[in-house]
Amino acid sequence: MSDVDFESEQYEKCREAGEILAQVRDEAAERVEVGGSHLELAEWTEDRIRELGGKPAFPVNISIDEEAAHATPSVDDEETFGEEMINLDIGVHVDGWLADTAVTVDLSGNPELAEAPAEALDAAIDLIEPGVETGEIGAAIEEVIDGYGYNPVVNLTGHGLGHWEQHTTPNIPNREVAQSVELEAGDVVAIEPFATDGGGKVQEGSDEEIWGLEREGSVRDRNARQVLEQVTEEFKTLPFATRWLDNSRASMALRRLERQDIVHGYPVLKEEDGFLVSQKEHTVIVTEDGAEVTTRSR
The catalytic site residues sit at: 89, 100, 159, 167, 192, 281
- Cα–Cα distance measured from residue 279 to residue 260, given in angstroms and rounded to the nearest whole number: 34
Asked if residue 289 belongs to a known ligand binding site, the reply is no
- Is 38 marked as a binding-site residue? no
CA distance 17 to 93: 5
Residue 47 labeled ligand binder:
no
User: 264 by DSSP, 3-state: which?
Assistant: strand
Determine if residue 163 is labeled as part of a ligand binding site.
no
> How far, in Å, are 6, 114, 118, 193, 297 from residue 196 at the CA level?
36, 9, 13, 10, 25
In the chain, which ranges are continuous DSSP H helix?
Answer: 9-30, 38-51, 111-127, 134-147, 222-230, 250-259
In whole angstroms, give the CA distance from residue 246 to residue 235.
13
Side chain identity, residue 14: C
Binding residues for a divalent metal cation, by number, are 89, 100, 159, 192, 281
Which positions make up the binding site for substrate? Answer: 70, 167
Annotated binding site: 70, 89, 100, 159, 167, 192, 281
